[in-house]
Amino acid sequence: MIIPNYRLGPIDLVTLLPYIAMLCIIGFILAIVPLLIWIERVVISLMQDRIGPNRVGPRGLLQTIADGIKLFFKEDIQPRAVDVRIYYLAPVLAMIPALTAGATLPFSTVRFRMEDGSVQTFPMVVGNVNIGILFILAMASLQVYGIILAGWSSNNKYSLLGGLRASAQVISYELAMSLAILSAVLMSGSLNLVHVVEAQMNGFWNWNLFAYPPLGFIITVIYLISMVAETNRAPFDLPEAESELIAGFHTEYSSMKFAMFFMGEYASMLVVSGVAVSLWFGGWTSPLPLLDFIPGFIWFLVKLFALFFVYVWLRASLPRLRYDALMNLGWKRMLPTALVILFLIACWNTLRTPQAQDANPVSEITMAPARAAEGER
């Protein structure tokens, strides 16, 4: 679809695209969380042969809305001897980075007809910057501070243990995830997520999932495991292990502060899944060229919900890992494997890149003014 005019009266629609994308991302994350919770409850009940939600609304569809209203009006209980400022700051630190990380996440494109009659394509993204992947990694690293500070400020031993578990878990799996993302950067040749998606256009066989076989598939699996551990979801939900730590780092939180942790977790799931879609599964592009008539954001949402289904599938199927098994998987298995794959992809790129004819072009450019000066003398 081509918008016939890039202007709406005196308003330049191209300049409004980042603001429209920002409203779409924030509105989508905040509005879709109740639906995601309902989908998770229904899918798990079907997988485990249980009834599931069926009381409030058709098939329990309004149950999560009722839960949100209940949390909004619930009494806000504050334990004794907590560090009040940090206690109230922690839920904000857990939620805000998850929302801001989506600023560099492209989810579609818009085509405008310009004044000269040409058609130009613009990505739907808040910040189309060349270091978009680094920005997402930075925001993902900040989120763990909310979990650590929540456990530390609550003056509760179980909460403190949950915060320490979360910090150790995030550090171990973030290294493997960063190496997997660097591998995708080498495959696509850019840190800009828009360019990464554009490098995977014209069919699913161009996706990074199938690049450098079988290295692309292995590094994708490493990222998918790391993103589940990064968001503290089952089977890596040790920071919230109810059989060991009551509720982990948010044991002493109630009312809307607990709801902010809850929404921050689901927002993080959406963001890391969106990064996976952009890096490995072609982003907003269609799997087959003949399906290009379907809007890009539809393909993005289909892939996003498919990865969310993987989250639910893992929670319904796998038991919680022991802590030593979790650490061994991160440090002794995934990290060395990701490092080897990154090295192999770098070597592959080096061997297939044609060598420059001039061995040292920088020296030639640097010496040229000096030679010209000598000739004049």
What pLDDT, in 10s, does the model give residues 171-197? 888 889 999 999 999 999 899 999 999
Domain membership of residue 194 (yes or no) is yes
Domain membership of residue 126 (yes or no) is yes
Domain membership of residue 360 (yes or no) is no
Domain membership of residue 362 (yes or no) is no
Complete DSSP assignment for 176-237? HHHHHHHHHHHHHT-S-HHHHHHTT-SSGGGSGGGSTTTHHHHHHHHHHHHHHHHTT-TTS-
Whether residue 370 is predicted with pLDDT greater than 90 in this model: the reply is: no
Tell me the average pLDDT of the chain.
85
Domain membership of residue 345 (yes or no) is yes
Q: How far apart are the first and last CA of the chain?
A: 64
Residue 62 makes CB contacts below 8 A (sequence gap 6+) with 56
Domain membership of residue 368 (yes or no) is no
Domain membership of residue 366 (yes or no) is no
Cα three-residue angle 324-327-333, rounded to 5 degrees: 120
Whether residue 147 is predicted with pLDDT greater than 90 in this model: the reply is: no
Count CB neighbours of 363 within 10 A. Answer: 10
Residue 345: predicted pLDDT: 94
The total number of structural domains in the chain stands at: 1
For β-strands 2-3 and 119-123, DSSP reports them as unpaired
CB-based contact 266:273 (threshold 8 Å): no
Average pLDDT score over residue span 269-275: 93
Task: Please indicate whether residue 298 or residue 76 has the higher confidence score (pLDDT).
Answer: 298
Q: Which domain holds residue 296?
A: 2-351
Domain membership of residue 358 (yes or no) is no
